[in-house]
């Protein structure tokens, strides 16, 4: 398996950062979460004057064999249709990316469709969708390892282009099912508490989805370690995101975490390399069942609670202005001393 060299950020700078934050012309602690964000970002970048450069939202896309079991309201062909919507600039994350100055990278990780050559689609297709994990492993060990490696390579490319803050999104009909399997297997939270409506299932649909996933869990005879859970239940786009997150942490980048699926990718990544979570800023708590429980398990404090459950990186990109504000606070506010103001706390 590909390996990563990830270290916790050096906390020696924290005291200087706290002093800088407390010296700004405001009551101590009065900017709340912006202050803790500024401390985290300054620690990641090892500076009192952090910068956010060339933000990118990477969307990995792939299909899932488990979708054949009717676990999603949407048919499999929606995956490729939404990719064309990305290309046309019409999806939910597209307007947010334009609004907040994000570059978009769209990666065909394993869509069950042959796209015509297009310079705006990065072709990293492992295979045309995963196998159906109700009956067999979604991916082989070799396929999963390749997905980690190729997902990481995309982030290396972003970093070379000047990016130091990166959001991850996904597109893949059936991926909330794979996410629910990861969550239950790796946290011990009972599967019914990890399964939700996905793209819009009604109560009967959710019950059917749960029964399929319970049968899949009963059929699983693997080792139970993190890598095996990851590759057995897939999906390709999710494993590429895990690889991307681990490479981003290795490179000292700020990782913006989206919703239920990407939070599960953090779960897997942090089981493999616990240090990576120090680089993560959780954009929001979504409306997908299980997301809040997963955030609580990770001791994560999301920035937004907007009832979103779109995916695509929409929640993490939407939260970006708050991250930007934390950096601007450090760089643009004057201190009490600079303005000759008596400290009033």
Of 148, 109, 101, whose CA–CA distance to 129 is shortest?
A: 109
* CB contact at 8 A, 251 and 156: yes
HEC string of 135-171? CCCCCCHHHHHHHHHHHHHHHHHHHHCCCCEEEEEEE
Of 271, 305, 307, whose CA–CA distance to 287 is shortest?
A: 307
Chain centroid to Cα 214, Å, comes to: 25
Residue 194's alpha-carbon distances to 178, 190, 234, 253, 298, in angstroms, are 11, 7, 16, 30, 14
Half-sphere CA count of 47, side-chain side, radius 13 A: 9
312 is catalytic: yes
Of 75, 60, 319, whose CA–CA distance to 200 is shortest?
A: 75
User: Catalytic: which of 312, 332, 338, 339?
Assistant: 312
Instruction: Find the DSSP H helices in the chain.
Output: 14-23, 33-45, 78-87, 92-100, 141-160, 175-187, 203-219, 226-233, 236-250, 260-272, 291-297, 314-318, 320-332, 336-339
Whether the bond into 278 is cis, omega within 30 of 0: no
- Please list the active-site residues: 312
């Amino acid at each position: 398996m590909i390996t990563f060299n990830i270290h916790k950020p050096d906390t020696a700078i924290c005291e200087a950062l706290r002093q800088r934050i407390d010296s700004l012309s405001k009551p101590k602690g009065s900017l709340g979460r912006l202050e803790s964000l500024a401390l985290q970002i300054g620690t990641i970048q090892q500076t009192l004057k952090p910068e956010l450069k060339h933000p990118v939202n990477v969307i990995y896309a792939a299909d899932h064999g488990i979708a054949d079991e009717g676990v999603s309201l949407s048919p499999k062909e929606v995956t490729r249709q939404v990719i064309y919507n990305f290309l046309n600039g019409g999806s939910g994350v597209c307007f947010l990316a334009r609004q907040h100055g994000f570059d978009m990278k769209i990666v065909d990780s394993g869509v069950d469709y042959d796209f015509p050559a297009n310079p705006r689609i990065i072709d990293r297709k492992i295979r045309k969708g995963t196998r159906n994990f109700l009956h067999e492993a979604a991916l082989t060990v070799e396929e999963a390892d390749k997905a980690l490696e190729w997902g990481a390579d995309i982030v290396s490319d972003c970093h070379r282009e000047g990016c130091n803050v990166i959001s991850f999104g996904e597109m893949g009909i059936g991926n909330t099912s794979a996410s629910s399997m990861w969550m239950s297997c790796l946290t011990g939270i009972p599967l019914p508490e990890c399964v939700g409506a996905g793209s819009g299932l009604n109560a009967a649909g959710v019950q059917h989805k749960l029964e399929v996933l319970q049968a899949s869990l009963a059929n699983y005879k693997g080792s139970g370690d993190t890598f095996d859970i990851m590759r057995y239940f897939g999906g390709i786009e999710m494993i590429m995101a895990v690889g991307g997150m681990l490479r981003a942490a290795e490179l000292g980048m700020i990782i913006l975490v989206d919703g239920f699926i990407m939070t599960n990718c953090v779960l897997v990544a942090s089981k493999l390399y616990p240090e990576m979570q120090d680089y993560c800023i959780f954009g929001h708590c979504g409306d997908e069942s299980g997301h809040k429980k997963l955030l609580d398990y990770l001791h994560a404090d999301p920035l937004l609670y907007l009832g979103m459950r779109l995916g695509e990186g929409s929640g993490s990109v939407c939260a970006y202005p708050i991250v930007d504000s934390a950096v601007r606070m450090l760089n643009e506010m004057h201190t009490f001393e600079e303005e000759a103001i008596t400290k009033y706390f």
